[in-house]
A and B are shown apart, each in its own frame.
Chain A
């Protein structure tokens, strides 16, 4: 099946610094990737839809300047948490959908997640 890889899996940073999380589709091309945030014991919150070669589409309430998304190639999307604060500590997960080349069931392939802790 399709593989999506996230890096880093864990990151600890000081308040005020910026952190970049990468999401790669390893064996397929993804024109669209999705970024989610998950708080402990809570569901996924869709933050934004990352579109290759164009601006990301952010969900209501998500700060565009705080969470910068870049989708420069068909296999890589990055999420940068700028000037991170302790309240940004969370589990961030990306996903991509496989299109073409077989039955399109709409299945999402998820990265392993990145746990961010801001001190």
Chain B
């Protein structure tokens, strides 16, 4: 079936790098996504990666995709207190009516 799994919590010190990991089961997705949710708000797309890519870099963000292991990670360099939020990994399997499947979300705490 379709499943996306993430660890629930991550705590880092300001200035350190954060790495949020995700595993997924359906390899048919064309894109994989990272969404960010700040307290009391909706989600916003942070970045995405095409399934034929291994890596994508966007300023402080680096996405790594290991298709063989079905593993996706998001690295945030020089983590700031403003990065404290919930980060959701997501995919859209090419089966199942084009629904977005979300992980449970990783709550990132950044300590000053």
Contact = CB atoms under 8 A, between A and B. Distances in A.
A46 B42 contact: no
Contacts of A41: 107
Given A105-B48, A106-B30, A106-B31, A43 B104 contact: yes
A93 B104 contact: no
Nearest to B101: A46
B102 A43 contact: yes
Contacts of B109: none
> Secondary structure of the B side of the interface?
loop
A35 interface: no
A112 B41 contact: yes
A93 B45 CA distance: 15
Contacts of A43: 88, 102-105
B92 A44 contact: no
A37 interface: no
Interface in B92-109: 92, 97-100, 102-105, 107
